[in-house]
Structure 1
Amino acid sequence: MALQKTLSLLLLSLLTLLGLGLVQPSYGQPMYQRFLRQHVDSTGTGGTDLYCNTMMERRGMTRPRCKKFNTFIHADIGAINNICSTPNIRCKNAKENCHEGVVRVTDCRLTARSGGNCRYQGRGSSRSVVIACQGNPLVPVHFDR
């Protein structure tokens, strides 16, 4: 009986923290996980060629082909998820599930391919980004622009 009460209290506490936004649930959505892998680096400052060459390789975007362009967002996941709570705007594909926010980013542009190696030029800035969001709660699943 005491164990059941303890578990009930723990569950209630967790639900309260989730409701307050103090704890982020672990989202299992494959598109969300892919978005995190391809576009989020909350610990880095980026902005250099070395950063892009390292991160594109580390995050698996150089095999089997070099990805031509990628953007890394340098903000914590809570701030990125909050972009999903801004008003809906039209995405490039004409869907209405995009949202806009200003964050620090590094844009990585492919400059060369030689012997299976991908080389990138990095450019850091603070700028407006547009991301597509879906789910309940809404989470980012696609970097639109």
Structure 2
Amino acid sequence: MALQRTFSLLLLLLLTLLELGLSSYGDENRMYQRFVQQHVDSKVANRNESYCDLLMQRRKMTSRYCRYFNTFIHEDIWKVINICSTTKIRCRNGEMNCHESVVNATDCTLIAGFKAPDCRYWAMTGTRRVVIACEGNPGLPVHFSS
């Protein structure tokens, strides 16, 4: 009887831990997908003057109000993920889960408009240092810091 009760408690504990692990993985995965949606454009073909206007709209960052600033990283997704394997640095919020690298990117800065569809952006393209926060094991990018 005692052995059966111990087994039942261990099984309950295992199922609880498994559920907690899966739910946290789901949160990290959603944050990673959001990061990619908002900050990765590896297949960029033409970064002309309307690049930011179009991409900010397509990526749903102007659905209610115009987002003031956003950066798109123009690297293969695996290179972006590999940033999480570099040395950890302190984030602006004090956490120690940030990593930095130099990437090709476009910064989009709002120059006109307040609400969609009137959002107009200025694009600045080049190679620059970025800092991203990573979560999970293995680490996935979940937040663009700078």
Percent identity between matched residues is 52
> Structure 2: how far apart are the matches of 1:115 and 1:84?
35
CA distance in 1 between counterparts of 2:59 and 2:108 reads 13
CA distance change for structure 1 residues 104 and 119 in 2, over 3 Å: closer, same or farther? Answer: same
CA contact (8 A) 1:134 1:141 kept: yes
Misfit runs of 4+, over 4 Å: none
The residue that corresponds to 1:136 in the other structure is 137
How many residue pairs were aligned? 119
**Bigger mean CA deviation after superposition, 112-121 or 72-81:** 112-121
Partner in structure 1 of residue 108 of structure 2: 108
- The structure whose residues are more often helix, as a share, is 2
* Structure 2: tracts of 5 or more residues without a match: 1-26
The verdict on how the C-alpha distance between 1:46 and 1:83 changes in structure 2, with shifts beyond 3 A counting, is farther
- Max radius of gyration: which structure? 2
Q: Residue 10 of structure 1 aligns with which residue?
A: none
2:63 equivalent in structure 1:
63
Aligned-partner Cα distance in 2 for 1:106–1:76? 15
Q: Secondary structure at the match of 1:88?
A: coil
Q: Unaligned 5+ residue runs, structure 1?
A: 1-26
Structure 1 length-normalised TM: 0.77
* CA distance 1:45–1:74, change in 2 (3 Å): farther
Alignment-mate amino acid for residue 84 of structure 1: C
CA RMSD of aligned residues (A): 1.7
